[in-house]
Structure 1
């Protein structure tokens, strides 16, 4: 497989998986009825934000695969993607914000682990996860607030 193919596969995996999970777990009326904190962003922001983040996640995954495919770092990358894809079905699909909070905290830990572990090996892959980590930290605060308010 060529280098371009790795990037294409990883970007499509992250972006396509995120899109599929989003379509399978819409927020719907239940989410609209929840009390939410004052710092909840408008709904239109989530699609563009996640599109950009999934693109960055895919690039970081391809770079990690090329340089460290059989390493603990690749395991961390896969773990964060599994947790990422598990959050929407837990929060929206099962309508369990507390379960979502457990998952998103674990996701944030995996993101931070990826940033830390990849910093010396591949600073670009590490840096690509920084916006992701910031967004998920923000989303963790939102999730925690929803749990506390409902």
Structure 2
């Protein structure tokens, strides 16, 4: 029995390249602050950490995975023509800007309390982003769930580090 090759769906290479581009964009933008300010600083190393502070290697692994998910979510929103797309894209950019602000505030400026304010603001923007994305593409909203969980955990870490070192 011969397969009808015309009826098989072939991958759309332009869409695949666009997806890879969005993932790379979000990963690069999200990673820049971590490259410029480091948890290896003497200040951070001297801080008392809570008992549940994860191994240092967990952070780049988790953030890379999250940025990949966010890149896919952004791509899904970008290619949609659903009402609310512009709001969702705007909220994506806004939450990403707030995300990028946290690292230098905490590590370079050595301001855990200010960083706590930033991460709590980020949490609110993530929830707003998820609500807006759900109206455009539920898959994009779902891809934000692990991000929200990690930012919640990071906010608790930030709070505990601030409390232990105040």
TM-score, normalised by the number of residues in structure 2: 0.84
Structure 1's consecutive aligned runs of 4 or more residues displaced over 4 angstroms after TM superposition are: none
Could you list the runs of 5+ residues in structure 2 that have no partner in the other structure?
A: 1-13
Q: CA deviation at 1:6?
A: 3.0
1:21 maps to 2:33: yes
Counterpart selection for 2:128 from 113, 125, 136: 113
Which structure 2 residues correspond to residues 66-77 of structure 1 after superposition, within 5 A?
Answer: 66-67=79-80, 71-77=86-92
Distance 1:98 1:21 in 2: 18
Aligned residue pairs total 149
Correspondence for 2:150: 135
Correspondence for 1:7: 19
Greater helix share, structure number:
1
1:97 maps to 2:112: yes
TM-score, normalised by the number of residues in structure 1: 0.92
Q: Considering only CA atoms, is the larger Rg found in Structure 1 or Structure 2?
A: 2
Distance 2:22 2:95 in 1: 14
Stretch deviating more after TM superposition (87-96 or 118-127): 118-127
Q: CA deviation at 1:140?
A: 0.4
Counterpart selection for 1:125 from 102, 117, 140: 140
Stretch deviating more after TM superposition (48-57 or 20-29): 20-29
RMSD: 1.5
